[in-house]
Amino acid sequence: MALVRETDRLLFADARCGTTVGTVPDRAVATSPSARGQSTGAPQVMRPAQLAEIMRPELPDLAREIISEIRSRIPEYARPMDGPYGHVLQVAVQRSLGSFFDWVADPTAPRELRDQLCRRLGQYEAQEGRSLDSLQAAYRIGVQVSWRRVMSLGLRTGAPSAVMSWLADAGLAYMDELASLSLQGYLEAQAQSRRSQQDWRKRLLRLILESPPVPARAITELAETIGWAVPAEVTLVALEPGPDCLLELPDDALQDLGGAQPHLLLTGSTDHSRREALAAAFAGRQSAVGLSVPLAEAAHSLRWARQALALSRDGIIAADPVTFCEDYLVELWLLADEPLIDQLARRRLGAVTGLSNIQRRRLAETLSAWLETSGTAPAMAERLGVHPQTVRYRMRKLEGALDGQLSDPDARFAIEAVLRATRLRDRATEGRG
């Protein structure tokens, strides 16, 4: 993971090109992390330590500018700043900046905390399944933005060209030092890691399902690390808890079968032939297959699958060994928010709540028949097994209680949705009884 040192050096060419590089105090040259062998001589009017002290009031604003630049240019670090990623980024930038200018002011300043942080950053990249490219890019951005600020301040304060040249070399060497420390941590994490390939695949699955969604590049980089081809379309499956063993699934499936909510990801869509293969693969373990969606919407597919599994478990929809969401779209929609259905029922059918259970059931059956047929009394009577005159009596009662709602298309739609959802829930109650 070598840094592109000569490319970075061009960033500082304006500090040295066309000038005669003078000398800086002996101590600064001797203790420089780069130790590039400049000759010694009489001290300059301004020493690097003095420029460092002038820079200190700029550091908080400079840190914010560096963080903004890193987040805008590196997708992996474009996470919310109030989360753990944002905290790590803030601490890393602030400590790196402070440590550099501490060293410029006093070469004997302790650096243990900085060294520990840089190693930890490398370990973190390894644990996330990424290469060090993004972290090294962040280091380069930090040096670039810092150098722009130092140049501006140096021009305003009349810093000698020798001081500016020395700081340029020191900045590049400092970047090398940070990258080297992070590489140590990265290699240590890799050496200590006992994760199997399946563990990495679980991590990728968690990344795909993370909310809010992570940047697409974070997923593709980890996928490349483990050799997983990123699909355009995926299908998520929810399973009942059971033995934490690997199922006989395609090689490109991602699965996490531990915990209270086992689940897995299948690439591509689910056609008829694949349905049969899934039923055999799950070997009697109750499961629900979500809808096939683009990769970025995988969390929705899993949410629907878990909802279908719960409805199947409660007997609201057929308790097949494998439940396919595409067979129960209306049921999933109607019961996606049961408290909201209850609110809708109170607003649309509240007028009949004072009746007895038998009366309410009869009126609900009559209303459903009216909504689902042409609305003629003979057709409704045949469906309900009652006399047409009974149907007419019930409808007059409903029209009075519902206060004109039956002539309003929106109200009729809402009432039908409530009645269908209620029937689904009643079916589960009867099954348990």
Task: Check whether 203 has a pLDDT greater than 80.
Answer: yes
| pLDDT score for 66 | 92
pLDDT at residue number 383: 87
Bridge partners for 263 per DSSP: 238, 256
Neighbours of 430 (CB within 10 A): 9
Residue 355: is its pLDDT beyond 80?
Answer: no
In the chain, what is the straight-line distance between the N-terminal and C-terminal CA atoms, in Å? Answer: 66
Q: Give the pLDDT band of residue 394 (cuts 50, 70, 90).
A: confident
Checking DSSP bridges between strand 287-294 and strand 233-239, what pairing results, if any?
antiparallel
Q: Classify domain 230-334 at the CATH topology level.
A: Alpha-Beta Plaits (3.30.70)
Percentage above 70 pLDDT, the chain: 84
Cβ proximity of 371 and 415 under 8 Å: yes
With a cut of 50, say whether residue 13 has pLDDT above it.
no
* Equal fold, 5-192 vs 230-334: no
Structural domain boundaries in the chain = 5-192, 230-334, 338-432
Query: What's the pLDDT score for residue 190?
Result: 76
Of 152-161, 275-284, 332-341, the least confident = 275-284
User: Lowest mean pLDDT: which of 96-100, 183-187, 190-194, 243-247?
Assistant: 243-247
What's the rounded Cα separation, in Å, for the pair 246 and 210? 22
pTM for this entry: 0.54
One-letter amino acid for residue 106 of the chain: D
Please tell me the distance from the alpha carbon of residue 179 to that of residue 400, in angstroms, as a whole number: 79
User: Running DSSP on this structure, what letter comes out for residue 104?
Assistant: H
Which residues have C-beta within 8 Å of that of residue 334, sequence separation ≥ 6?
341, 417, 420, 421, 424
* Fold of the 5-192 domain: Globin-like (1.10.490)
Q: Which of 21, 2, 54 is nearest to 169 (CA)?
A: 21
Model pLDDT, residue 195: 57
Residues 6 or more apart whose Cβ sits within 8 Å of residue 44: 22, 23, 24, 25, 160, 162, 163
Q: How far apart are CA 221 and CA 271, in angstroms?
A: 30
Element containing residue 256 per DSSP (H, E): strand 254-256
Task: Determine which helix (DSSP H) or strand (DSSP E) holds 8, and give its type and residue range.
Answer: helix 5-9
**287-294 vs 263-267, strand pairing mode:** unpaired
290 pLDDT higher than 90: yes
| Residue 194: predicted pLDDT | 55
For 90, list phi and psi in degrees, rounded to 5: -65, -45
| Band of residue 43 on the pLDDT scale cut at 50, 70, 90 | very low
pLDDT value at position 432?
54
Mean pLDDT, range 246-275, rounded to an integer: 85
Instruction: Give the integer Cα–Cα distance in Å for 326 and 120.
Output: 46
Residue 40 per-residue DSSP state: P
* Highest-scoring range by mean pLDDT, 24-33, 77-86, 149-158, 356-365: 149-158
Task: Give 230's DSSP letter.
Answer: P
Position 390 pLDDT exceeds 70 = yes
How many other C-beta atoms are found inside a 10 Å radius of the C-beta of residue 179? 20
Mean pLDDT of 162-188: 89
Angle subtended at Cα 262 by Cα 426 and Cα 223, rounded to the nearest 5 degrees? 135
**410 backbone dihedrals φ, ψ, rounded to 5°:** -65, -40
Residue 395 pLDDT exceeds 90: no
Gap between the Cα atoms of 287 and 313, Å rounded: 10
